[in-house]
C-alpha cells in the first residue's frame, strides 16, 4: 500500500513568487522570457522584470504561471553561464529553489523550505503533476550546491543576494 506524499506546499495562491538572478548579459532575460513564452501555445506569458541593485527580479503571479512552470522557468533561466533561483514568499513557510548542478540532464531542482525540509523537484513531471517531488536525504546535501536547513533569508545571503532581503521584507 502506497503512503500518501507529505504535502510541503501551502496553496499557491498564498505565495508571492519571484524568479531572481544576477545576470551578466542585459539581453539574456528578455530574450529567454520571450523564448519561454513561445515554447507552446499554453506557455506562461511572463515578460515583466525589474532591477533591484545587481539583481533582476521577475514577478511570477499565480494568475499567469503555475508552480510547475514557475520552478521550470527558474531552471530555464539557468543556462548560458547564467543562474536563476525561484523564491516563493509565505508568512509561515516560504520556499526557494535552485537547479541541481550535479544532475547532468538538468531536469531536477532542490526546493528548500523555511522549516528546513528540502525536496527534489522533477521539472518535466512538474509541468503536469503538482506532486513531482521526492524527499532529499540529508547526507546527499553535502555534495550539492544548496545549504541544508536554511530559510529564504539565509538562502539569499548564501547566494550573495543579501540586498534582496530588505526588498522582500524578510
Residues of the domain holding 57: 15-167
DSSP annotation string for 126-154: HTT-TT-EEEPPGGGGGGSSS-SS--HHH
How many domains are there within the chain? 1
How many of the other CB atoms lie within 10 Å of CB of 87?
24
Q: What is the pLDDT of residues 26-67, one digit of tens each?
A: 999 999 999 999 987 778 899 999 999 999 999 999 999 999
CB-based contact 96:112 (threshold 8 Å):
yes
Residue 5's pLDDT band (boundaries 50, 70, 90)?
Answer: low
Distance (Å, whole) CA 149 – CA 161: 18
* Residue 10 maps to a domain: no
Distance (Å, whole) CA 162 – CA 22: 12
Q: What is the pLDDT of residues 79-137, one digit of tens each?
A: 999 999 999 999 999 999 999 988 888 899 999 999 988 999 999 898 888 889 998 87
* Residue 2 maps to a domain: no
Bridge partners of 85, per DSSP, are: 20, 98
* Residue 4 maps to a domain: no
Amino acid at each position: 500500500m502506497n503512503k500518501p506524499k507529505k504535502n510541503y506546499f501551502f496553496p499557491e495562491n498564498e505565495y508571492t513568487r519571484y524568479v531572481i538572478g544576477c545576470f551578466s548579459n542585459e539581453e539574456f532575460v528578455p530574450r529567454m522570457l520571450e523564448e519561454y513564452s513561445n515554447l507552446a501555445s499554453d506557455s506562461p506569458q511572463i515578460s515583466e522584470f525589474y532591477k533591484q541593485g545587481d539583481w533582476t527580479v521577475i514577478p511570477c503571479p499565480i494568475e499567469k504561471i503555475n508552480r510547475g512552470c514557475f520552478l521550470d522557468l527558474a531552471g530555464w533561466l539557468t543556462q548560458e553561464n547564467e543562474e536563476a533561483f525561484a523564491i516563493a514568499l509565505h508568512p509561515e513557510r516560504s520556499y526557494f529553489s535552485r537547479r541541481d548542478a550535479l544532475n547532468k540532464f538538468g531536469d531536477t531542482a532542490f526546493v528548500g523550505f523555511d522549516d528546513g525540509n528540502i525536496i527534489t523537484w522533477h521539472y518535466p513531471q512538474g509541468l503536469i503533476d503538482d506532486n513531482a517531488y521526492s524527499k532529499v536525504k540529508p547526507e546527499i546535501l553535502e555534495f550539492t550546491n544548496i545549504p541544508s536547513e536554511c530559510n529564504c533569508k539565509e538562502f539569499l545571503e548564501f547566494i550573495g543576494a543579501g540586498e534582496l532581503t530588505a526588498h522582500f521584507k524578510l
